Chain A
Amino acid sequence: ETGVTQSPTHLIKTRGQQVTLRCSSQSGHNTVSWYQQALGQGPQFIFQYYREEENGRGNFPPRFSGLQFPNYSSELNVNALELDDSALYLCASSRLQRGDTDTQYFGPGTRLTVL
């Protein structure tokens, strides 16, 4: 069973640029969630995708957007990068059925640095 993978591992961008992060979900999982973890904090929920549609969103501005593909892999796009976007971005997959909860399994993360 293949676990959750993310790419790239590290990324350096400058303020104002755009970035795309990628995630492949664990086999058998149909849901992908994205989290932002700032230094010294717990992960914060950005949004979740279920069957290629956004299924829920945390308190993040619209410049954070995403996609889920038919094979359940996902992208996180961030436009107009700001210094405060520097963080570890985590992807988690799960097998969600509507109205139910399931354990989320995390990838290793992408460390984004904005200069």
Chain B
Amino acid sequence: DQQVKQNSPSLSVQEGRISILNCDYTNSMFDYFLWYKKYPAEGPTFLISISSIKDKNEDGRFTVFLNKSAKHLSLHIVPSQPGDSAVYFCAASEVNSGGGADGLTFGKGTHLIIQP
């Protein structure tokens, strides 16, 4: 039972255009969402996050949008650059009022390919 879903295994975008990566979740208790980027043979690198009290967060070329009613978030990269070619993971977590941690729940990733 996947609680975080990235339905596009891959996405090809022309350099300079906008890349839009999508993510859906099913657990309504999730309240913190993150995007990570991963190159082969490296660990995931944190890109950007958003709390459930917001619907948008921007950092340079990266913007994350959160639609809580649809349980959907998206990452926009504009303009796309060749170095953006990587696997992008969406992840979610919830504050555990008991003080414990459930860790991050990840999607399976989307392989973004930026074409020159």
Contacts and interface: CB of A to CB of B under 8 A. Distances in A.
Contact of A107 (B43, B93, B104): B43
A112 to B, nearest CB: 14
A109 interface: yes
Interface residues of A, number: 32
A25 B42 CA distance: 16
- The B contact surface, by secondary structure, is loop
A109 B44 CA distance: 9
B101 A42 contact: no
Interface size class of B (residues with CB under 8 A): 20 to 34
A104 B104 contact: yes
Given A42-B108, A42-B109, A48-B103, 18 more contacts: A31-B101, A33-B104, A42-B89, A43-B106, A44-B106, A45-B103, A45-B104, A47-B103, A56-B96, A56-B102, A58-B102, A101-B94, A103-B34, A104-B34, A106-B36, A106-B45, A108-B42, A109-B43
